[in-house]
Amino acid sequence: MRIGIVCPYSFDVPGGVQNHVVDLAEALIGLGHEVSVLAPADEDSPLPPYVVSAGRSVPFPYNGSVARISFGPVSTARVRRWLARGRFDVLHVHEPFALSLSLLAVLSARGPVVATFHTAMTRSRALAAAQGVLQLVMERITARIAVSALARKVQVEHLGGGAVEIPNGVAVAKFADAEPLPGWPGPCGPGEGGTLGFLGRFTEPRKGFGVLREAFVGLAAERPGLRLLVAGPGDVAELHEGVPEGLRDRITFLGQVSEPDKARMLRSVHLHVAPNIGGESFGMILTEAMAAGATVVASDLDAFRRVLDGGRAGELFPTGDAAALRRTLASLLDDPARRTELSASAREVVGAFDWPTVARRVLEVYATAIEATDGRVLDEEWIGPA
């Protein structure tokens, strides 16, 4: 199948949507399809061979942060040229309601269009003001995918029309084969040692680092050798806030890590902790930790419970409860058999999120969109071996 994918955000800055697009494109290529990705990128930035640059992007405030996008007559011309040259069987756009390449592509497309909604906030204010344009865009999208239950809810309630929920994939092999960092995770015996991991923006209250910090400070005082490995954007001073002087050297801060280092970091811990107190629509980090074979301890949020198969693939603790987290951590650190059991079920459960599996689901949506556009009914075999 010839597949055209449009990514609205620039590859010059890392981001969830960009990673999703790259992983999806690679998984589809791996299944034997021809894929071209159109994305904004600076002329001299290194790009994978299947990415076509739509030119320089401009910073644009969007959904509380700054995204780099391309929009305007020059971009429109490039989108049209790319569409004409690609002769795609299906066009797959991401976040079509942001003012971006995706929107331009939807408006220029003639054939079947599949759209993926990532965030819960996908409707730009400019578009909300123009109901007619919104309707026009919706009409051109044949099939819709939402990456989480929350994104799907917003899609159904605010935009009208259904959406298929297909979760974010995770490149299981990349995580499962990573080498742990030298010297980690270290010893973990009864009553002493052990390494906890946290990954993410620890300054952001919703990520719940405060809950983990409280549990860690309490537990570290009575458990010699307990260490905490943290990766994410932010600075050390903020990380150490509220941690007694004597315990600070037991926290190792890696700063913001690259994708390969993230995999290594997740392989370097005994327990990976996701203490989020809300706002997490899917829980990408959990699937990554599961793929890396880390034992996961996560707050009991709906999204997390679903990903962890109701607690079979990771231990859940009451959201925001530092004392409960501390008890859970202490008992798991002293129970290697239980850790092995959890991590084994995690590897099994995460198979459903592996990119090739997820990409096959996406291919089924492509086939359905093509059928609804030209009436051909496609064989199962055509979309790739099961």
Question: Which residues within the stretch 19-38 sit at the binding site for other proteins (CB under 8 A)?
Answer: none
Give the residue with the Cβ less far from other proteins, 64 or 375.
375
**One character per residue 247-276, x = contact with other proteins (rule: CB under 8 A):** ------------------------------
Report the residue from 30, 59, 139, 255 that binds other proteins according to the rule CB under 8 A. Answer: 139
Q: How far apart are CA 384 and CA 172, in angstroms?
A: 20
In the structure encoding, which two tokens stand for residue 337, read together? 């058999």
Beta bridge partners of 5: 37, 92
Considering only 13-21, 154-162, 238-246, 289-297, which stretch makes contact with other proteins by CB under 8 A? 154-162
Residue with the two structure tokens 């974010």: 168
**By CB under 8 A, residue 372 contacts other proteins:** yes
Give the residue with the Cβ less far from other proteins, 188 or 303.
303
**By CB under 8 A, residue 381 contacts other proteins:** no
Considering only 118-126, 132-140, 206-214, 290-298, which stretch makes contact with other proteins by CB under 8 A? 132-140
Write the DSSP symbol of residue 246: G
Give the residue with the Cβ less far from other proteins, 123 or 153.
153
Q: How far apart are CA 185 and CA 310, in angstroms?
A: 27
Considering only 51-59, 159-167, 216-224, 225-233, which stretch makes contact with other proteins by CB under 8 A? 159-167
Give the residue with the Cβ less far from other proteins, 154 or 271.
154
**By CB under 8 A, residue 160 contacts other proteins:** yes
Considering only 3-11, 54-62, 160-168, 209-217, which stretch makes contact with other proteins by CB under 8 A? 160-168
Considering only 16-24, 63-71, 156-164, 339-347, which stretch makes contact with other proteins by CB under 8 A? 156-164
**By CB under 8 A, residue 142 contacts other proteins:** yes
**Taking a C-beta distance cutoff of 8 angstroms, is the pair 31, 360 a contact?**
yes
**By CB under 8 A, residue 69 contacts other proteins:** no
In the complex, what is the shortest distance from the CB of residue 353 to other proteins, in angstroms, rounded to a whole number?
8
Report the residue from 33, 144, 262, 339 that binds other proteins according to the rule CB under 8 A. Answer: 144
# of chain residues touching other proteins (CB under 8 A)? 32
Q: How far apart are CA 78 and CA 56, in angstroms?
A: 12
Question: Which residues within the stretch 166-185 sit at the binding site for other proteins (CB under 8 A)?
Answer: 166-167
Give the residue with the Cβ less far from other proteins, 337 or 377.
377
**By CB under 8 A, residue 116 contacts other proteins:** no
Q: How far apart are CA 288 and CA 314, in angstroms?
A: 13
Report the residue from 138, 243, 247, 277 that binds other proteins according to the rule CB under 8 A. Answer: 138
Q: In 10 A of CB 85, how many CB atoms?
A: 11
Q: Using H for helix, E for strand and C for coil, what is the string for 281-350?
A: CCCHHHHHHHHCCCEEEEECCHHHHHHCHHHCCCEEECCCCHHHHHHHHHHHHCCHHHHHHHHHHHHHHH
Report the residue from 14, 30, 161, 244 that binds other proteins according to the rule CB under 8 A. Answer: 161
**By CB under 8 A, residue 300 contacts other proteins:** no
**One character per residue 325-354, x = contact with other proteins (rule: CB under 8 A):** ---------------------------xx-
- Dihedral, 288, 290, 292, 295 alpha carbons, nearest 10: 130
Contacts 24+ apart (CB under 8 A), 324-331: 325/211, 325/212, 325/215, 325/273, 325/275, 325/297, 326/214, 326/215, 326/218, 326/219, 328/297, 329/196, 329/215, 329/219, 329/271, 329/273, 329/297, 330/219, 330/223
- Dihedral, 356, 102, 50, 368 alpha carbons, nearest 10: 40
What are the DSSP calls for 77-144, one per residue? HHHHHHHHHH--SEEEEESTTSTTHHHHHHHH--S-EEEEE-SS----HHHHH-HHHHHHHHHH--EE
Residues in the site for other proteins, rule: CB under 8 A? 135, 138-139, 142-144, 152, 160-162, 164-167, 306-307, 352-353, 361, 364-365, 367-369, 371-375, 377, 380, 386
